[in-house]
Amino acid sequence: MQLSRRINNVVQGGSDGWEVHYEGRSRQAAGEPIILLTVGDHDTATPAPFMDALEASLRGGNTGYPPVNGSAPLRAAIAKRLAAKTGVETTPDQVVVTPGGQAALFGAMMAVLDPGDGCLLVEPFYATYDLTVRSASGRVQTVAARAEDHFEPRGDAIEAALDHGTRAIVINSPNNPTGSVYGRETLGAIAEIARERNLWILSDEVYDSQVHDGEHLTIRSFPGMAERCMVIGSMSKSHTMTGWRLGWVAGPAEAAARIADLAIATTYGVPGFIQDAAEAALETGAAEEAEIAARYKRRRDIALAALSNRSGLALHHPSGGMYAMIDIRQTGLSGQAFAHALLDEAGIAVMPGESFGAAAAGHVRIALTVADDRLEMALARIAGFAADRAKRSA
Ligand code: PLP
């Protein structure tokens, strides 16, 4: 039987760059000392107090159907967090709880895109963005953020990439995969374009607590933006809760209500005991959140120390998030070829930049998700490998 064009179109053919990860993982499982710097998942479990809160809720009997849009206390805690972090007044009716930031992205795209509407993605982008746009029957448009511009998109390039059918722009700061944190100038330029062209901004801020230099700045706080902006948030990265699947959309109240309507047709909400644990984590977990953020800053500093002023590579300064981009163009290799050869010869798995879009060609992304000593060892091997390859290609 024929499946719908929409579902057949979700995942498009071709390499997605994960082959290096899968090969590394199977060699690791076979006993080889491979170090995986590929996945954006933590190397530590969720802090114990959050697990205790989950257990207390479960044993207390919160096992029935949850409120589909999120429990009132959790939405209040999220609204309070956003107001405190960003200075933008936020009310609980502007928040809808979703199973992770991914479902928040899908809900937000479903809320703003009619079939065929353009949704502009800034390349390089997080690997699910394009298939999420297609799942919502939108049309993927891209604009390159160049390494030379610290991977921040330029206003004129965005203007040139838009057409009359564009409805929304997705931005992500702190950024996966580049580690860039958009400055006031970049966000101001994007906000101006959105106001002038009457566009939605979907602002993915799931790394908002991992800003290594300076402060987190949200485009939602710019003049006239709260009414045309939806912020995507998540407990995954900030609280080491990736497997718990708890995220949110914060935006205009009407949009939050419609995204909750969509959840009736899909997930029917997030389990109540997970919502209770998330609420406890937001209300009482500031120390744990700060410790998690400090861990990634420390590893970022390790990467800066290990990879600065090296021959064969250049580290793109990561200002936030859990990753770093390494420019390996001096080796004469593509990101893909570099990643495969690095795995073969040095036992390190990294993501080819190309898997995040052509704008990251000639780069590889490392995830700072292994213990500090293993990270140091891996970085030393990467530096040695790149220097050797650059010498050979000279
Ligand atoms: N957005 C970005 C930029 C991400 O990197 C991720 C996960 O890696 C997500 C959203 C989705 O996160 P989750 O669904 O775990 O909340």
pLDDT tens digits, one per residue of 142-181: 999 999 999 999 999 999 999 999 999 999 999 999 999 9
For residues 71-83, give the mean pLDDT. Answer: 98
Q: How far apart are CA 132 and CA 246, in angstroms?
A: 18
Task: Answer whether 79's CB lies under 8 Å from 223's CB.
Answer: no
Q: Average pLDDT in the 213-238 region? A: 96
Structure tokens at 143: 């604009």
242 lines ligand 1 (CB under 6 A): yes
Task: Answer yes or no: is pLDDT of 242 > 90.
Answer: yes
Q: Are 104 and 309 in contact (CB under 8 A)?
A: no
Closest ligand 1 atom to Cα of 234 = 16
Query: Average pLDDT, whole number, for the chain?
Result: 96
Top mutation candidate among 102, 121, 203, 207 for ligand 1, by most atoms within 8 Å of CB: 102
Q: How far, in Å, are 18, 65, 120, 145 from residue 267 at the CA level? A: 28, 11, 27, 34
247 lines ligand 1 (CB under 6 A): yes
Assess whether the C-beta atom of 354 lies below 6 angstroms from ligand 1. no
The answer to whether the CB of 246 falls within 8 A of the CB of 206 is: no
| Residue 364 confidence class, pLDDT cut points 50, 70, 90 | very high
Q: Is pLDDT of 9 > 90?
A: no
Residue 139, classed as helix, strand or coil, is: strand
The finding on whether 250 has its CB within 6 A of some atom of ligand 1 is no
Ligand 1 atom with the shortest distance to the CA of 204 = 1
Six-digit token pair at 156?
């004129």
Closest CA to 312 of 363, 362, 386: 386
State whether the beta carbon of 57 lies less than 6 angstroms from ligand 1.
no
Measure the CA–CA gap between 201 and 375, rounded to whole angstroms.
36
Give yes or no for a contact between 17 and 364, defined as CB atoms under 8 angstroms apart.
no
Supply the pLDDT for residue 394: 79
Cα–Cα distance, 231 to 220 (Å, whole number): 7
pLDDT at residue 146, rounded to an integer: 93
Whole-structure pTM value: 0.97
Mutate to test the pocket of ligand 1, among 109, 123, 126, 235 (most ligand atoms within 8 A of CB): 126
User: For position 15, what pLDDT does the model report?
Assistant: 65
pLDDT band at 14 (very low <50, low <70, confident <90, very high): low
What does the alpha-carbon distance between residue 109 and residue 201 come to, in Å, rounded to a whole number?
A: 10
pLDDT number for residue 16: 72
Strand extents, DSSP E, the chain: 35-36, 95-98, 118-123, 139-144, 166-172, 200-204, 229-234, 247-250, 314-316, 323-327, 348-349, 351-352, 363-367
pLDDT in the model for residue 129: 96
Within 10 A of 73 (CB to CB), how many other CB atoms are there? 15
d(CA 5, CA 28): 38
Ligand 1 within 6 A of CB of 204: yes
Number of the ligand 1 atom closest to the C-alpha atom of 102:
14
Backbone angles phi, psi at 91, to 5 degrees: -110, 155
Of 247, 246, 248, 252, which Cα lies nearest the Cα of 220? 252
C-alpha span between 348 and 379 (Å, rounded): 9
